[in-house]
Chain A
């Protein structure tokens, strides 16, 4: 990959769920070092897009192309996409009863590094990342998301992000269900992860996460399309005027299907 190759390129991406088109042709380019935010009301297709990008079996990309660091990922399974450097923080992380957070993280990291990789640094790395996210050490031996609060689950998502160090991180509604302290910790985790060589795509309904994680670009999604793009100021304007403002500005161009 040359330094000019964008990290993530979406070209006219269409997504279907159970035969219904929920994303109707979106294009987007994210370069290394950039943070983009997709904002939109409920049902606008932003979570569908995130899931489809990661390879969720129920969300089919029916048209267009997605490339990660110059390589199309459409033919890849979710685990291949992950190992290629894509990450999705779940809006609703799944519980895996009986599997400890430590075992899960070790297995995931080993999958990224390869079967014969040296894992002797795992404990140290794991402990340091947990401490940085103010996650109590006892979570290492608890079962993944089993009985965790909303805030605990989101912290564990960010722990995975910082352990796996993907090229491109999609964070789906990571702010939902967080109180203000948890929001700050999680935001700090995201900011600590972010550097010149990786990219972030925040998917959110509300502006509040964007107070802590500053986007370079904001895209407004409605009815499966990007209807407006701009800088961080666009998010603030949405906060003041709501999504109706964009809808009206588009004067019926956007219709709910």
Chain B
């Protein structure tokens, strides 16, 4: 059997736990995965990435050893929780055990944070109507794969009219070996609820010399009417990971959603972030960032689907590439026939620091009615040498000038990142720039 003919013959033991409806779904998705052909190279969203890179290795297993830095992150996050900088912390060690800690206030407010399989049992009325609603077998082969095999799933529920002002922070660790993980997250925010969720992906082998580690993630998010939800996804996996993530959000009337996808890590990172604006007055903003060096490869897709009228969306997706890194960004704005009076804006800017880098930017518009305002813009290019000269004329050396300009390019995006994390992300980027 070649790797590309990989099939799931049986659901691993442990994944058959939970309520019957969940086991049934998993089995259905297993068959669906086996039936679906691998996406054709060159098909929509597969023009720049080889689908074969995401086919699991049949001999690979779930990782057993947590990455060395996890303990430190864990204690930092627990510290922030104690200092009341975070509302809750979830630590997922290589897809095996999830440690969940949350403040007393959250429990009192009726917030639920549970392993997804447990929640499927204990909170069926909240989980069953949502799980697999946005990401299911119809979505694609790899989405079916996660649907069948997810472990260490997490469920987050914020009741109606509940404001959680501090972030809920999840860390998903992919271990150290070339193994595979299938994280899944379901977030349900009620009407007029408010929350910030930080979803951080770490770990994996440091290079691909002994095979790539693999991560297939799925995130479903439901934001009720008039809710305000911020979802930040920080992908900073190690350089030996092939990372695939699909995120779909459905937001109701008057809801305001901010999505912040930050892709810094992995060998190959393919991410798909979509928001369905499902009710009048819904507003979605995506502030994306991909930062690549060496031979890193990014393939990012965003979707704003205006399914209801008088909805607004805005995308600001920034890419910085150094060394031989490459990026493809495909941004789709879809406005339904019935969705009149919508406004959509999309911008993708790519800064190329070395001649060996390459960036593609593909705007896609599917606009089915005329009563809309929709614009997009894209730039791909090196740093303006005149900007560098200007800074040099003030005594700043070339390398420092370049770093300053890159930091400036990313400033607007970093300003959106919540406080404690902003400093950490800035310093990750600074360290990478200084190493160049």
Which residues from A are CB-within-8-Å of B106? Answer: none
Q: A97-B408, A99-B407 are in contact. Are A57 and B389 (CB under 8 A)?
A: yes
Contact of A96 among B390, B400, B410 (CB under 8 A): B390
Q: Is B385 an interface residue (CB 8 A)?
A: yes
Which residues from A are CB-within-8-Å of B76? Answer: none
A57-85 vs B, Cβ < 8 Å mask (1 yes, 0 no): 10000000000000000000111011100
- Are the C-beta atoms of B410 and A98 separated by less than 8 Å? yes
- Are the C-beta atoms of A82 and B395 separated by less than 8 Å? yes
Which residues from A are CB-within-8-Å of B397? Answer: 77, 79, 111
Which residues from B are CB-within-8-Å of A112? Answer: 395
Contact of A77 among B387, B392, B407, B408 (CB under 8 A): B392
- Are the C-beta atoms of B404 and A107 separated by less than 8 Å? yes
Which residues from A are CB-within-8-Å of B392? Answer: 55, 77-79, 82
A88 to B384, CA, bound (A): 19
Q: Is B1 an interface residue (CB 8 A)?
A: no
A169 to B412, CA, bound (A): 34
- Are the C-beta atoms of B405 and A108 separated by less than 8 Å? no
Please give the number of chain B residues whose Cβ is less than 8 angstroms from any Cβ of chain A in the complex. Answer: 24
Q: Is B436 an interface residue (CB 8 A)?
A: no
A-facing residues in B402-436 (Cβ within 8 Å) = 404-405, 407-412
Q: Is B386 an interface residue (CB 8 A)?
A: yes
Which residues from A are CB-within-8-Å of B408? Answer: 96-99, 143
A77 to B397, CA, bound (A): 9
A61 to chain B, nearest CB (A): 16
Which residues from A are CB-within-8-Å of B387? Answer: 94-96
B278 to chain A, nearest CB (A): 34
- Are the C-beta atoms of B412 and A98 separated by less than 8 Å? yes
Q: Name the CB-closest residue of B to A84.
A: B395
- Are the C-beta atoms of A99 and B405 separated by less than 8 Å? yes
- Are the C-beta atoms of A104 and B404 separated by less than 8 Å? yes
Prevailing SS type, chain B contact patch: helix
Q: Is A150 an interface residue (CB 8 A)?
A: no
A85 to chain B, nearest CB (A): 10
Contact of B396 among A79, A93, A98 (CB under 8 A): A79
A87 to B390, CA, bound (A): 11
A-facing residues in B372-390 (Cβ within 8 Å) = 384-387, 389-390
A83 to B389, CA, bound (A): 14
A99 to B401, CA, bound (A): 11
Q: Is A200 an interface residue (CB 8 A)?
A: no
A160 to B395, CA, bound (A): 11
Contact of A88 among B393, B405, B409 (CB under 8 A): B393
Q: Is A9 an interface residue (CB 8 A)?
A: no
Q: Is B6 an interface residue (CB 8 A)?
A: no
Which residues from A are CB-within-8-Å of B409? Answer: 97-98
Contact of B395 among A90, A96, A98, A108 (CB under 8 A): A108
- Are the C-beta atoms of B411 and A108 separated by less than 8 Å? no
B408 to chain A, nearest CB (A): 3
A237 to chain B, nearest CB (A): 33
Can you report 21 A-B residue pairs in the complex whose CB atoms are below 8 A from each other? A57-B389, A77-B398, A78-B392, A78-B393, A79-B391, A79-B397, A82-B392, A82-B393, A82-B394, A90-B390, A93-B390, A96-B408, A97-B408, A97-B411, A99-B407, A99-B411, A104-B394, A111-B397, A111-B400, A112-B395, A164-B395
Residues on A facing B (Cβ under 8 Å): 54-57, 77-79, 81-83, 87-88, 90, 93-99, 103-104, 107-108, 111-112, 143, 160, 164
Residues on B facing A (Cβ under 8 Å): 384-387, 389-398, 400-401, 404-405, 407-412
Given A83-B395, A103-B404, A111-B400, 8 more contacts at CB 8 Å?
A54-B393, A77-B398, A93-B390, A96-B391, A107-B396, A111-B394, A112-B395, A143-B408
